[in-house]
Structure 1
Amino acid sequence: MTSTVGKPPTHNAPAVLARGFLTGSVIGASLTAFISGCVVESAQLAILGLLLPAVYGLLFFLFTLPRRAREAAVVPRTALAVVESLKAVGGETSDVPVRFELSVAPDDAPAFRVEVRQDINLVELPDYRVGGIVVVEYPPDRPWKTRIVKRPTPEWEERAATTRVDSAPGPAMKSDSPAGCADGLLTLFGLLLGVAAVLLLFRADLFDVDAEEGESGPFRRPAISASSSTTVVTSATGTVNLGPGQSMLDEGELRRAIESLTRGANTRRALTVVVQDRSLTVVFAPAGVETAGFDPRSLPYDRVPGLVQKAGAGVGSPRGWQLAVDGVTGSLTLRVVVTGDGGTGVLEADGQGRVLRRSGG
């Protein structure tokens, strides 16, 4: 029983790539929204992270329903096939996934070669061998969906025992669409785009960038204005932005900024403190964890201007500076970075403001 090989049908590559891109976008956006909502205590973000995959799954189900209905209405065709090769590809249970390469010879259609993957019970595995004849079923419009019939009817079982099937030339069609590099890259791009979309749309809640506009979220305390500065305290962070003509290096300015974030009921411990010329950001330790972090009021305020001056020695005309204080491990570490026309200077000091090392400049 031989016949010519028909042209293998092609998979819908654009649809597969678009589906991978959308799936990656939904995964990135939902995970980012849910985790961010838990961190900043935003019920809106957390619920959005849970709703996104549910809505996407429902839309995908409805969109593919007509296609799946059409495919289900197609009557599968039964044919004989010869096993060209087989290889177990893993599995630790009684059913072992086996990759078959088959030459299928329908009675009234061109023969074709196809590669399929199917679970076979360990007890039945010896029944399949290279050169053996098996009974298969496949949709006429999707021959790459070929499946081996494990319990054929007596008629087909007799035909498989008495009929010779020749090998079909040509490359084997795959039972699954190959993922490919483009599919993986588009999925990754979609994931990153979903993350970026959530961070951009909810940047006010996540990064408090709306402080200067006077907006307030459900978990943000009222802003306090003093000396042309803006102070915003949330459940996770506190920020102070100075007005024009002011600097954190001015006498007593850094101390006042720290105290504006830590007075009264806000006397919480900090994990990190970041100071720039006109801004201060304090990341507070989680509520209820009293042993983590450090008291931001213990910083050596009076030594900060001198540390910035030492770090910037040799960098030319300074363009900007930053002080980062880290106390997660228990001992305070002050790191000062100053950038200028002549390079970058870095200085590290301990909790008392004593210089430990200096580089650059």
Structure 2
Amino acid sequence: MTGAALAAVAVGVILEDVRVFVAGGGVLALLILFAVLGGKRRPAGGEPPVRRLALARIEDLRATGGESADVPVKFRLTVAPEREDARSAYRVKTTQHINLVDLPAYRPRGIAVVEYRPDKPWDVRIVTRPTPEWSRRAEEAEIDSAPDSTLVSNPDVDEGSWCLLALLAFLAGAALVVLLFRGPLFTEVSDGDTPPGSPSKSSSTSRTFTTSTTVSGPSSSLLAFGRMRATAMELEGRVETGFVTEVTIEDRRMTVSGDSTRPPTGTFHLQTLPYELFPALVREARTTLGVRTPETWRIDITPGTGDGVGPRVRVTVTGPEGTAHLDADATARITDRRAVGERG
């Protein structure tokens, strides 16, 4: 749940989705609140668990370090329960903080006084300040080592396993949220959504591609001398090839498309186009085709039909009177005209 909440917050920020962000943040806040309240809640009243005293043989001990006066020590013990417990001696491992001053009193094959729970024999704690009677019994006692097969341990899932399960649950929750929002997260922005001045990304990098760029600023029309060719070279560098299947040029936008499966006759190279002559074609279309107040213009360049035929250039203008166009060859020589009202 925590992983899902954190992932929802991150997804909300990335997608700028207030609802997802608020939902994830709200769940995260509730989880923190429950954790705080759960930590402050005291266990319900009841009888404390029964603990009994016994003697234990220290099989081995190892201090694991520490910077304070009490250092953690790992013990391997053979616990010898009292006769009334009707239980034979058994092995157990336990870790307990021992003061550095008292540490020399614990040595291998020595006898210590321990406290254990009959219902949970692995819950063993060394009594560092036993009563005089138990101290005397520890000094006089001799306990044989129990075999390793008698080792008891907590049958519940250990702490390391709990940490692993918590990590897996955290990752699963995060993966679930990301999976639910995989569309908005990983879908590329379409060319129509590209803000002015920002290049759009190619729609595919394997077999086909479409990429465009928009120029901005004062006097930034692509009709300015040299602007078309410079923009075409920029797009060629972006798609890493000069062979394309279509080029569209508008006043402030240029788009190129390509398909790697097309034969050479179905493509043309960006650098072979006479960009410097295109402004004259646009001016011709805007002034001679019956569109007295042209509002928009567009140049569409596609491969020519037939072997050895260069690309075909079509200039389209639109205004209140309607739409008209003219066609030209790869050298910008006009080959056909269609004024407003003419079909073709």
Question: What TM-score, normalized by structure 1, do the two folds share?
Answer: 0.49
Deviates more, 1:83-92 or 1:161-170: 161-170
Aligned position for 2:132:
154
Q: 1:257 aligns with which of 173, 188, 194?
A: 194
Aligned position for 2:284:
none
Letter in 1 for 2:148: G
Change (3 A) 1:306 1:274: closer
Aligned position for 2:278:
none
Aligned position for 1:165:
143
Q: How does 1:131-142 map to 2 (within 5 A)?
A: 131-142=109-120
* Structure with bigger RCO (C-alpha 8 Å, 6+ apart): 1
Change (3 A) 1:46 1:178: closer
**SS of 2:93's equivalent?**
strand
**Cα distance in 2, alignment partners of residues 340 and 177 from structure 1:** 61
What CA deviation, in whole Å up to 9, does each residue of 1:266-324 have, x standing for no partner? xxxx8x974425799xxxxxxxxxxxxxxxxxxx75445434664386xxx99xxxxxx
Change (3 A) 1:202 1:163: same
1:61 Cα deviation after fit: 9.9
Change (3 A) 1:304 1:43: same
**SS of 1:75's equivalent?**
coil
Q: How does 1:191-270 map to 2 (within 5 A)?
A: 191-201=170-180, 207=185, 240-241=189-190, 248=191, 257-259=194-196
What CA deviation, in whole Å up to 9, does each residue of 1:242-270 have, x standing for no partner? xxxxxx5xxxx7xx8322xx7xxxxxxx8
1:47 aligns with 2:26: yes
**Cα distance in 2, alignment partners of residues 96 and 175 from structure 1:** 23
Change (3 A) 1:44 1:153: same
Cα contact 1:87–1:100 (8 A) shared by 2: yes
1:79 Cα deviation after fit: 0.7
Equivalenced residues, count: 221
Q: How does 1:1-361 map to 2 (within 5 A)?
A: 26-37=1-12, 40=16, 42-55=21-34, 73-107=48-82, 108=85, 109-171=87-149, 172-174=151-153, 179=158, 186-201=165-180, 207=185, 240-241=189-190, 248=191, 257-259=194-196, 274-276=201-203, 301-303=231-233, 305-307=235-237, 310-311=240-241
1:166 Cα deviation after fit: 1.6
Change (3 A) 1:82 1:257: closer
1:152 Cα deviation after fit: 1.5
Letter in 1 for 2:23: Q
**Cα distance in 2, alignment partners of residues 118 and 125 from structure 1:** 11
State, as a whole percentage, how many aligned pairs show the same letter. Answer: 36
What CA deviation, in whole Å up to 9, does each residue of 1:198-241 have, x standing for no partner? 2244568x7397xxxxxxxxxxxxxxxxxxxxxxxxxxxxx753
Aligned position for 1:231:
none
Change (3 A) 1:48 1:303: farther
1:73 Cα deviation after fit: 3.5
**Cα distance in 2, alignment partners of residues 83 and 339 from structure 1:** 78
1:84 Cα deviation after fit: 0.5
Cα contact 1:84–1:167 (8 A) shared by 2: yes
Change (3 A) 1:162 1:197: same
Change (3 A) 1:58 1:79: same
What CA deviation, in whole Å up to 9, does each residue of 1:97-141 have, x standing for no partner? 110000000013211100111111111111111111111111111
Change (3 A) 1:340 1:124: farther
Deviates more, 1:173-182 or 1:94-103: 173-182
Cα contact 1:36–1:46 (8 A) shared by 2: no
1:146 Cα deviation after fit: 0.6
Deviates more, 1:302-311 or 1:101-110: 302-311
Deviates more, 1:88-97 or 1:193-202: 193-202
1:59 Cα deviation after fit: 7.8
Structure 1 residue ranges without an equivalent (≥5): 1-25, 210-238, 242-247, 263-269, 281-299, 319-337, 343-361
Deviates more, 1:43-52 or 1:179-188: 179-188
Cα contact 2:4–2:176 (8 A) shared by 1: yes
**Cα distance in 2, alignment partners of residues 77 and 160 from structure 1:** 15
1:92 Cα deviation after fit: 1.7
Letter in 2 for 1:44: A
Cα contact 2:58–2:108 (8 A) shared by 1: yes
Cα contact 2:194–2:200 (8 A) shared by 1: no
